[in-house]
A and B are shown apart, each in its own frame.
Chain A
Amino acid sequence: MDFTVGILLVTFLLSLLALFVFIASMAKGLFGSGGAAAVQIFDEDELGTVEDPAATQAQRGSLQRAMDPGQQAEARTSADVAARRRADQSSSLVVGVCLTLSVVWLVLASFAGLISSIKLHSPDWWVGMEWLTFGRIRPVHLNLVAYGWCSMAGIGVALWLIPRLLKTELVGAKWALIGGGLWTLGVVAGTVAISTGHSDGLEWLEYPWQADILMIVGGALVGFPMWLTLLRRKVEHLYVSVWYIGAGLLWFPILFLIANWPGLHFGVQQATMNWWFGHNVLGLWFTPLALAASYYFIPKVLGKPIHSYNLSLLGFWSLAFFYSQVGGHHLIGGPVPSWLITISIVQSMMMVVPVFAVAINQHLTVLGNFRALLYSPTLRFIVLGAMMYTAASVQGSLQALRSVNTVTHFTHYTVAHAHLGLYGFYTMIMFGSIYFIMPRVMKWEWPYPWMISAHFWLVLVGFGVYFVGLSFGGWYQGLAMLDKDTPFMDTVKLTLPYLQARSIGGGLMTLGHLVFAAHFFMMGWKFGPRRLGAALLKPPALLPRIGKGARA
């Protein structure tokens, strides 16, 4: 008892102390306007100039007029153009490979998810094969999403952003390429292991250690080039996105290594470790990667710096501090020390600080320019993703409260919430980023803009059906389970229509992914009527200047 009080007291005092140190270190100029670091991402003439390689010429003209009707762009200096060209060229091969692999994983993961979903309401469907049983195809889905699609896409986007943000070439691109290959082998090995019944049995940590080693070595080969590039930067200020990517690249390997260490963890301690990892892989790996992308692409597409540099500073450090301690809220009501759960609940609520810091910063940058969403495919996905980040985070904080968690724990509501985070937020931002990046990597435009629209609306409507259906179903399931007079079987039966709705939503999402993947590979084979050429490869005088009205 004394020990518990002591721990709580020490934690409280440390948190308070950290907060004061933090505030003191930023006492000056807090919440000021962007400043030099915020405009780091723009070249000399780019402020006020919209950019979205995924948009058509007409869309770009409209986008520019929506942002600034009277814009007269100056010519860019040739030094800037050359630097950007070198940065993009240094990363294009490895980025292209990573993003291509991620799209393949996305499609496979979608089918695994759809099969799992159908099996939940039609249990006698496809039962003959071991590898397709629900208990295997579901973790296959989760791991393909997390380590296949999300990690690969995030790594690809980070590899592309880092040289751009540091105005230098990617160091050791070929090592990153080998790393991406090893990581992929790890995902393949892990998936085969789960399918054949060799799972480690811990959620988010199902891959056996043999597959983990491939991923750790592969991840290191991807991470070191990025950090080496960081150390050779040619810019004075580190842009916000660099903090998130740099920290995420340090955090993830440590989390993954400690969590997967064979023979180290036991019993209930393993459960606390499991959710320390399970939540940190979201908070300290996926979230930083997606926030890095949105902090770059929102201002870049709009041609307008991020609202406040210091707000992003607050957002970054408070995210790191609070997010890293929330894992215990997955064990509310479980056989773990209650001080641990209490700390996690408090820190879950404190997560509103970084969330609102990011929300204010990003939404205020977009505010007043919502018409830009009509024209920019990139922005449409990313702004939607940023909104879902706010929604998912606030929902997550509330869900950590004991009273709410008592209803939602052990139900499909949690699954819906997880998808709001990793799909509504993360995946949407990755879609937007890929739409921006691939024309630069391939030097080829997206061939069919209608396919981008079809992708957007399919996944938006599909996800809406998925999330609303499953959230209601899960909530009612939770309430029914708390009613002692409701037989357990009734809690199963009442979820069936919601689970069917989820399969329909999931089906639409899968269809959207197929459209996206088809479009992606059509671009890869250079289908389509129009050729963009590398805008940056043309001499500045011939550079198509958007903003002088629609190009006739």
Chain B
Amino acid sequence: MSPPGPPKSESRSAPHEGSHASSGAGRFEMDELRLVVGSMVILSGATALLVVLPYLLLRDEPPPPGLKPYTEQQLKGRQVYIANGCLYCHSQQPRDIAQAPDALRGWGRAPVAGDYAYDTPHLLGTMRTGPDLLNIGARQPSRDWHLGHLYQPRAYTPGSTMPPYPFLFDVRQGAAQAGETVVTLPPAWSRPGQVVVARPEALALVEYLISLDRTYPALAPLPVPKKAPS
């Protein structure tokens, strides 16, 4: 099946002088005006729907009473979290029990918009190469564990594929100085005479991780059903 060949007589190459008759009466013909107006109207609609409407709806959403603003140290840690791209492997949005067993893994209840009242930029994440972290502070409140885990994840979780972050620590021979935080590693991973000292970035990051705790009730007056009906 070959398509009908176009008539050779059409004035395709003659500039400015082509006649509209060749394109068929009543046919919708694209021109600059239609292109600009049409594409802008469509984009405005999509932007209104996905950007402006959420803006208007969520702008005055109050933070839940149980949610505390981040401290300066925690915000610093949040920057370390962003700088090292933790969000590319860890989400911060457990799904509802009706959809996935996230709560049964200890990741917490399904969050609401207010839970993120102080989260700019948002760090919802799209990937779970590692577990969800929205409630990691409630699940694992130990500073020592977090520091050691950041230094070498496999010292605590065999088989983990999380990268170690040696550049957040100083490794030295000899003793630590006053005011420094020494990382206590499991015996198999610590070397005699060597100390691992957490740098300020590591300490800030751990403060942020421990602050991640949305276990307060999302909506105070509503009882949270054990099994969602729908």
The answer to whether A250 has its CB under 8 Å from any CB of chain B is yes
- State how many angstroms separate the Cβ of A35 from the closest Cβ of chain B: 6
- State how many angstroms separate the Cβ of B104 from the closest Cβ of chain A: 5
Could you tell me if A167 and B15 are in contact, using CB atoms closer than 8 angstroms? yes
Could you tell me if A335 and B93 are in contact, using CB atoms closer than 8 angstroms? yes
Which residue of chain B has the shortest Cβ distance to A44 in the bound complex? Answer: B13
- State how many angstroms separate the Cβ of B39 from the closest Cβ of chain A: 4
The answer to whether B142 has its CB under 8 Å from any CB of chain A is no
Could you tell me if A201 and B121 are in contact, using CB atoms closer than 8 angstroms? yes
The answer to whether A59 has its CB under 8 Å from any CB of chain B is no
Query: Which positions 134-159 of chain B face chain A at CB distance < 8 Å?
Result: 153-154, 157, 159
Per-position binary interface string of chain B over residues 166-188, scored 1 when its CB falls under 8 Å from any chain A CB and 0 otherwise = 11000000000000000000000
Question: Which B residues lie within 8 Å of A43 (CB)?
Answer: 12-13
CA distance A39 to B10 in the complex (A): 10
- Would you list 15 pairs from A and B whose C-beta atoms are within 8 A, ordered by A residue? A26-B27, A134-B163, A136-B84, A138-B88, A235-B12, A236-B16, A238-B32, A325-B49, A327-B50, A333-B93, A333-B110, A336-B54, A406-B100, A489-B160, A493-B159
Question: Which A residues lie within 8 Å of B68 (CB)?
Answer: none
Q: Which of the segments B69-77, B125-133, B190-198, B220-228 contacts the partner chain?
A: B125-133
Q: From known contacts A201-B123, A340-B50, infer whether A34 and B23 are also in contact, taking CB-CB under 8 Å.
A: no
Could you tell me if A489 and B157 are in contact, using CB atoms closer than 8 angstroms? yes
Could you tell me if A271 and B124 are in contact, using CB atoms closer than 8 angstroms? yes
Query: Which positions 368-409 of chain A face chain B at CB distance < 8 Å?
Result: 368, 402, 406, 409
Could you tell me if A29 and B27 are in contact, using CB atoms closer than 8 angstroms? yes
The answer to whether A492 has its CB under 8 Å from any CB of chain B is yes
Could you tell me if B85 and A139 are in contact, using CB atoms closer than 8 angstroms? yes
Question: Which A residues lie within 8 Å of B39 (CB)?
Answer: 246-247, 250-251, 320
Per-position binary interface string of chain A over residues 477-502, scored 1 when its CB falls under 8 Å from any chain B CB and 0 otherwise = 00001111000110111011000000
Question: Which A residues lie within 8 Å of B13 (CB)?
Answer: 43-44, 77, 79-80, 83, 167
Which residue of chain A has the shortest Cβ distance to B162 in the bound complex? Answer: A123
Query: Which positions 409-434 of chain A face chain B at CB distance < 8 Å?
Result: 409-412, 414-415
Question: Which B residues lie within 8 Å of A80 (CB)?
Answer: 13
The answer to whether A273 has its CB under 8 Å from any CB of chain B is yes
- State how many angstroms separate the Cβ of A113 from the closest Cβ of chain B: 13
Q: Which of A307, A320, A333 has the most chain B CB within a 10 Å cutoff?
A: A333
Could you tell me if A488 and B167 are in contact, using CB atoms closer than 8 angstroms? no
Question: Which A residues lie within 8 Å of B165 (CB)?
Answer: 127, 133
Could you tell me if A251 and B43 are in contact, using CB atoms closer than 8 angstroms? yes
Which residue of chain B has the shortest Cβ distance to A344 in the bound complex? Answer: B50
Which residue of chain A has the shortest Cβ distance to B11 in the bound complex? Answer: A236
Majority secondary structure, B binding face: loop
The answer to whether A455 has its CB under 8 Å from any CB of chain B is no
Which residue of chain B has the shortest Cβ distance to A129 in the bound complex? Answer: B167
Could you tell me if B121 and A200 are in contact, using CB atoms closer than 8 angstroms? yes
Could you tell me if A37 and B23 are in contact, using CB atoms closer than 8 angstroms? yes
Q: From known contacts A135-B88, A250-B39, infer whether A267 and B126 are also in contact, taking CB-CB under 8 Å.
A: no
Query: Which positions 27-61 of chain B face chain A at CB distance < 8 Å?
Result: 27-32, 35-36, 38-40, 42-43, 45-47, 49-51, 53-55, 57-59
Instruction: Give the contacting residue for B12; candidates A44, A127, A488; CB below 8 A.
Output: A44
Question: Which B residues lie within 8 Å of A411 (CB)?
Answer: 127-128
Per-position binary interface string of chain A over residues 309-338, scored 1 when its CB falls under 8 Å from any chain B CB and 0 otherwise = 010010001001100110110110111110
Instruction: Give the contacting residue for B31; candidates A48, A238, A320, A414; CB below 8 A.
Output: A238
CA distance A266 to B120 in the complex (A): 5
- State how many angstroms separate the Cβ of B100 from the closest Cβ of chain A: 6
The answer to whether A97 has its CB under 8 Å from any CB of chain B is no
Q: From known contacts A123-B162, A135-B85, infer whether A230 and B43 are also in contact, taking CB-CB under 8 Å.
A: no
Could you tell me if A34 and B3 are in contact, using CB atoms closer than 8 angstroms? yes
Instruction: Give the contacting residue for A197; candidates B40, B47, B83, B116; CB below 8 A.
Output: B83
Could you tell me if A276 and B46 are in contact, using CB atoms closer than 8 angstroms? yes
Instruction: Give the contacting residue for A238; candidates B18, B30, B101, B163; CB below 8 A.
Output: B30
Could you tell me if A331 and B124 are in contact, using CB atoms closer than 8 angstroms? yes
Q: Which of B5, B53, B104, B161 has the most chain A CB within a 10 Å cutoff?
A: B161
- State how many angstroms separate the Cβ of B187 from the closest Cβ of chain A: 20
CA distance A133 to B164 in the complex (A): 9
The answer to whether A234 has its CB under 8 Å from any CB of chain B is yes
Could you tell me if B120 and A334 are in contact, using CB atoms closer than 8 angstroms? no
- State how many angstroms separate the Cβ of B130 from the closest Cβ of chain A: 8
Which residue of chain B has the shortest Cβ distance to A227 in the bound complex? Answer: B32
Could you tell me if A492 and B161 are in contact, using CB atoms closer than 8 angstroms? yes
The answer to whether A111 has its CB under 8 Å from any CB of chain B is no
Which residue of chain A has the shortest Cβ distance to B24 in the bound complex? Answer: A29
Instruction: Give the contacting residue for B167; candidates A128, A266, A343, A415; CB below 8 A.
Output: A128
